[in-house]
Amino acid sequence: MKRFYNHRDTLVAEGIDGFLRSSTGHHLCRLDGHANIHVVLRRDWDKSKVAIISGGGSGHEPAHAGFVGKGMLTAAVCGALFASPNVDAILAAILEVTGDAGCLLIVKNYTGDRLNFGLAAEQARLLGKNVELVIVADDIALGRGPHARGIAGTVLVQKVAGYRAETRASLAEVKQAAADAIKGTVSLGLSLSDVNVYDPEHKTRLNEKEAELGLGIHGEPGTERISVDKLDVLVSKAADTLVRHLTDGQHVIMLNMLGAVPVLEAQAVVDALYRNSIADRIDFLIGPAPMMTSLDMYGFSLSAIPVRANFIEALQSPVEPWAWPGITPFRDLQTRPTPSLPETFTYQPSSDPYMRNLITRGAKVLIDNEKDLNALDAQIGDGDAGSTFAEASRVILKEIDRLPLASPKELCETLGRLLARNAGGSSGVLLSIMFATAGQEKSWRKGLEAGLERMHRYGGASAGDRTMLDALFPAIAALQNGNLDQAAKAAREGADATRAMPARAGRAAYVPKEQLKNIPDPGAEAIARLLEGISEIS
């Protein structure tokens, strides 16, 4: 697996130093002097308030160092990858930040963390420090017993405790606030993958059709292996399980992303939550954001905490750490009506069996070639050329009964508006321009020629630039005095010629020349296949 790192053993130290040099961590500092002590702390700390320390194994970033700052953690102790920090590192953090007000340790319920933080707390007490400790066990996958793991809900506990500490509450009050948050917080994860901790021999336990519900943040197996399904089904699986563990009343839901999920998909998870029955129990939402990740795990977790005045006050309070995403009411969308746009269908539908057959056949050709064209485009572009043409074809098929098929001029004009409103990508827009221009001419043949010229003017590409114009120019020229067979042959020759052309326009212009060798332009290939397909019925 390809990753950015020098060596597994140096990654934590390099990552922390990079964080402290970054725009998100420049206000913090770290302890120095020991290679195996990785403690990130506030530079502005004056020890007059209760210190809040948390930590654990690295690989869960931004947790825990990303939550160090005013209003949350005073210090974070970072262990090796998925391994508890050592006792000396925890003790050093306690000694550095603890004043007369005392210190609260927030610890996730893992054996190594409990033992090491517990022993460090005992040693600190012997040195005269007032130290208390709470254990977070929010994961409901294994039930809420002594073996429940501490996962993303830990961040909610840190926020509540950090707020109370910032208000100069006593150590006993801060500990009680944290204990209340722990008691009320439940979490559950769902992932499409496990995690690879920089192991070149790693073999995933999940195949392409499997997901896991209730797996841990270190890749521990989930409580249930489930089938990969559509987003709504997967979100319902997690939400319906979580809701059985909620207390009565309304809740705050925190959507934590586990490392590899793209932002767009994370946002779609929020929308899926809104469509689930759990939405009726949600008053506030935190996220979606990566808060306690698991390196490259492709999943998310849901954490819930009851809506209580003291919790909401703490969660709404502003903080310095960049990783805290904030909290917002979970409510209906705020929308505005779309301004009136020109009508797409301004002409009466009309019938022409030949034209209907031609359009239906052409659309089917592009839809059937979607995967092939995407694969071709993936070699030199972003891999969506086939989908762009196929989606435009589906739109046209859907509206074919509303088209003025008996009038080429009106048909071209309507197709131009239809593509402008529905087609994606530059190719869809350019074809829209061509058809819209063609609809302004009395002769459809001359209209297509004029449309191609307008397309060339707006798009900036010319013949020989390795674009779909290299198929369109010869094809439309052939149509002026010929038929579809001749146009198809001309388009094929033009598309094949792009294999040897340098790219001077479009995304291919940014691809190294060597990578383009013997690969036709996907747009030109689409035009050639389209005309070859419809010429068969002419």
Q: 171: domain CATH number?
A: 3.40.50.10440
Residue 335 lies in a domain: no
Res 508: pLDDT: 55
Res 513: pLDDT: 65
Q: Are residues 308 and 379 in the same domain?
A: no
For the chain, residues with pLDDT lower than 70 are: 424, 503-516, 538
**How far is residue 270's CA from residue 166's CA, in Å, rounded to a whole number?**
31
Q: Are residues 249 and 388 in the same domain?
A: no
C-alpha dihedral, 135 to 141 to 143 to 145, nearest 10°: -30
Burial state string for 136-164 with b = 16 or more CB within 10 A and e = fewer than 16: bbbbbbbeeeeebbbbbbbbbbbbbbbbb
Res 369: pLDDT: 94
Q: Are residues 178 and 77 in the same domain?
A: yes
Residue 1 lies in a domain: no
Residue 89 lies in a domain: yes
Q: Are residues 49 and 160 in the same domain?
A: yes
**How far is residue 87's CA from residue 417's CA, in Å, rounded to a whole number?**
69
CA 448 to chain centre: 41
Residue 2 lies in a domain: no
Q: Are residues 472 and 370 in the same domain?
A: yes
274-308 pLDDT tens trace: 999 999 999 999 999 999 999 999 999 999 999 99
Res 178: pLDDT: 98
Hey, CA dihedral for 246, 247, 248, 252, is it positive or negative? negative
Residue 511 exposure: Cα atoms within 13 Å on the Cβ side? 20
Q: Are residues 316 and 359 in the same domain?
A: no
Q: List phi, psi (to 5°) of 96.
A: -75, -35
| CATH label of the domain that carries residue 519 | 1.25.40.340
Residue 94's nearest CA partner among 151, 66, 63, 55 is: 55
Res 28: pLDDT: 97
Contact (Cβ atoms closer than 8 angstroms) between residue 45 and residue 97: yes
Residue 76's nearest CA partner among 50, 46, 38 is: 38
Residue 255 lies in a domain: yes
**How far is residue 146's CA from residue 142's CA, in Å, rounded to a whole number?**
10
Enclosing domain of residue 511 = 353-535
Q: Are residues 316 and 364 in the same domain?
A: no
Structure tokens at 338: 């779309």
Residue 201 lies in a domain: no
What are the catalytic residues? 218
Residue 57 lies in a domain: yes
Q: Are residues 187 and 81 in the same domain?
A: yes
Structure tokens at 125: 């007490």
**How far is residue 463's CA from residue 471's CA, in Å, rounded to a whole number?**
9
Res 443: pLDDT: 79
Structure tokens at 280: 């009726």
pTM: 0.80
Residue 345 lies in a domain: no
492 residue type, one letter: R
Contact (Cβ atoms closer than 8 angstroms) between residue 325 and residue 286: yes
Q: Are residues 462 and 416 in the same domain?
A: yes
**How far is residue 158's CA from residue 472's CA, in Å, rounded to a whole number?**
62
Per the listing, tokens 């509206």 go with 399
472-513 pLDDT tens trace: 888 888 888 778 889 889 999 999 898 888 766 665 555 556
**Could you give the number of structural domains in the chain?**
2
**How far is residue 336's CA from residue 398's CA, in Å, rounded to a whole number?**
27
- Measure Cα distances from 438 to 268, 304, 412, 422, 479 in Å: 40, 58, 6, 19, 14
**How far is residue 538's CA from residue 527's CA, in Å, rounded to a whole number?**
17
- How many other β-carbons are positioned within 10 Å of the β-carbon of residue 518? 6
4-26 pLDDT tens trace: 999 999 999 999 999 999 999 99
Res 17: pLDDT: 97
